[in-house]
Amino acid sequence: MRALKINHFLSALVLLLLPSLASVASACTCGEVSPCQAYADASIVFVGRVTQTGVKATPRSVPAKAISTTLTSDVTSAHFRVEQAFLGVTAARIDISGEGTTCDYEFKPGERYLVFAYKDAKTGTVHTNICTGTAPLADSNDALAYLRRVAKQPRGATLLGEVVREVLGQSEPRVEAMVKTEIILDNGKQKFRAVSDASGKFTLSGIKPGRYRVHTNPVTNASHLDPGTEAPRTEWELIMPAHGCVQTWFMFRPGG
């Protein structure tokens, strides 16, 4: 792995692995969402064509999973004819609503989209926003390839990322890959193990949903799983989804 400055490394990882931390101010910008992350966060995924668009009155409160609280004067809506269902869709037609915020997705009549959406537990309404991974079908080749590939794989989610160590020197610190490091996931009943490759990367697939503890061997003491903590840790907790992935990184820092 090419040496990078620590601050540049962390910034890049945050952009790639933590889109959920992207700004959701009035401009509602998003970090990049990988296909497996979009799939993990969605309960409804399909390809469809918009047959009609409209607006609805702004609800009294935004959905629980909305990523912004900056309200607009109305809620966007779109009626779809489903062409291919990947997750949670059983009907040939479906209505998709915005959240009534500046993050609403503006669908165009007649256009085809790959939609990642979720159902609001209170109202039963299906919502999406501009940060879910929803995109025009013509721009969704990578996501479609992932969805078709994962449909052939064993059920369960994937934990993936990389393991690195901080190297201190006379100049600014750099990082290098930790090769052949074990990543161990444990829920008290089952253990899953992966080993990092020559680039420090690892993939652990087929994990059942639920709460897990994760650590590495050799030990690391920093992870994006708790980026705000002041004290170093050697074990972390995470919740695995029913599908899709969790992306993370682990680092050994000599100074803790």
pLDDT tens per residue, range 73-111: 889 999 999 999 999 999 999 999 999 888 999 999 999
Domain architecture of the chain: domains with CATH: 6-18+154-252 (2.60.40.10), 33-150 (2.40.50.120)
Q: Are the beta carbons of 212 and 190 closer than 8 angstroms?
A: no
pLDDT of residue 5: 42
The model's pTM is 0.82
pLDDT tens per residue, range 159-197: 999 999 999 877 788 899 999 999 999 999 999 999 999
Q: What is the largest CA-CA distance in the chain?
A: 64
CA distance 105 to 53: 11
pLDDT tens per residue, range 19-53: 333 333 345 778 888 999 999 999 999 999 999 99
Report whether pLDDT(11) > 70.
no
pLDDT of residue 56: 81
- For 163-199, the three-class secondary structure string (H helix, E strand, C coil) is EEEEECCCCCCEEEECCCCEEEEECCCCEEEEECCCC
pLDDT of residue 32: 84
Report whether pLDDT(15) > 70.
no
CA distance 117 to 100: 15
